[in-house]
Chain A
């Protein structure tokens, strides 16, 4: 088997079609993870020590076990679970599986953002007699989330690179198309190289952009500026 440029150029338009599915799936998984990430932050703040302890270990369990097995669990095992089990299509299973896995990471990002808000801000909200809702929406979160944007961006890139896992449960995106082409023509290396190039072309510039953002935010959200805002 030798490298074949003909095959290489032939598969580019084919794989390009899959690129949009990969990007779409990345965004869907990420939105789910962002929303669900708040759930972990919320349950960690439940006053009952036992309940927050249980949820902390559930999050730890999800974070430190392989996302691939979690995908298999949701896709193959969930339909077999009595009462609540339903059959999911591969897309939904991928969004739930990868979204859940990454929500445990994002919750840590949120937590670090919330902890970095100056203590005086909490005290001031209490002194001004703000309701819990006002305190969180108007005072804490607007200061906690923006400094974490570069970190959130990093996780978006990591998520983008984890999405090909979904091809194992039958989501037809870039990697699946490459493997299909390989099976039909017995040419795997060229389509896989094209997939790798597409990933590199998207993730490298995004990573550069994020490190730029990071520098900018570090200047803007210096500890001192936040407390004197």
Chain B
């Protein structure tokens, strides 16, 4: 029982980094998702194609490789020094999940009933007004359940940051295990429980949104 307390206290030290990386990545990847998703439905061919290449590159390779690549290439190849590895982690995770989530933005916008577009044209709304007041409010509702799923994915992805040396939850767990080999089952089980507790609100959010998303959206 004593060792469970000890390990939990140690893990709590790492939870700060996990939460920072999680929160900042969620904000930036959501911004990227909207910019990229809107570019993907824009009529500007150049913007559309350029974003398409970005999305396919980041969806086609895996996050762990992108994370390593950024942590070596940013300082080495481009001579960019971000000051801390947190930013490297946030950039890799945000670019990766921004690419994935831009696809939900795109598909939600495209799946808003065509009658809505026709009605806005009939009402003489400008293109911007149509997007801002008619299409996007309905599209956002449709995005929410899958968005919740991606938040859980981002939480799981934050465990990778220990591989580039950040002192997160898993990092402290690994440190403890390296000196107390026989307690490995307790350590990793506790880490899993910690992650699960962090995931519970996100799971609840996703389930709620599954009901919410069906309201206020025009049916065919």
Chain A residues engaging chain B, CB cutoff 8 angstroms: 1-3, 60-61, 64-70, 72-73, 76-78, 80-81, 161-162, 164-165, 167-168, 175, 179, 182, 188-189, 192-193, 195-196, 199-200, 203-204, 207
Chain B residues engaging chain A, CB cutoff 8 angstroms: 56-57, 59-66, 68-69, 72-73, 76-77, 152, 155-160, 163, 170, 173-174, 177, 181-185, 187-189, 191-192, 195-196, 199, 202-203
Give chain A residues whose Cβ lies under 8 Å from the Cβ of B62: 161-162, 164, 199
Q: Specify the main secondary structure of chain B where it touches its partner.
A: helix
CB distance from B170 to the nearest CB of A (A): 6
Q: How far is the CA of A99 from the CA of B77 in the complex (A)?
A: 36
Residue pair A77, B187 in contact (C-beta under 8 Å): yes
Residue pair A168, B65 in contact (C-beta under 8 Å): no
Give chain B residues whose Cβ lies under 8 Å from the Cβ of A72: 170, 174, 188
CB distance from B106 to the nearest CB of A (A): 13
Residue pair A192, B170 in contact (C-beta under 8 Å): no
Q: How far is the CA of A203 from the CA of B158 in the complex (A)?
A: 23
Known contacts A1-B76, A77-B185, A80-B182: A70-B192 contact under CB 8 Å: yes
CB distance from A88 to the nearest CB of B (A): 13
Residue on B nearest A85 in the bound complex, by CB: B185
Known contacts A73-B189, A80-B184: A60-B203 contact under CB 8 Å: yes
Known: A80-B181, A161-B62. 4 other contacts (CB 8 A): A69-B173, A168-B163, A175-B64, A195-B65
Q: How far is the CA of A207 from the CA of B170 in the complex (A)?
A: 32
Q: How far is the CA of A196 from the CA of B68 in the complex (A)?
A: 11
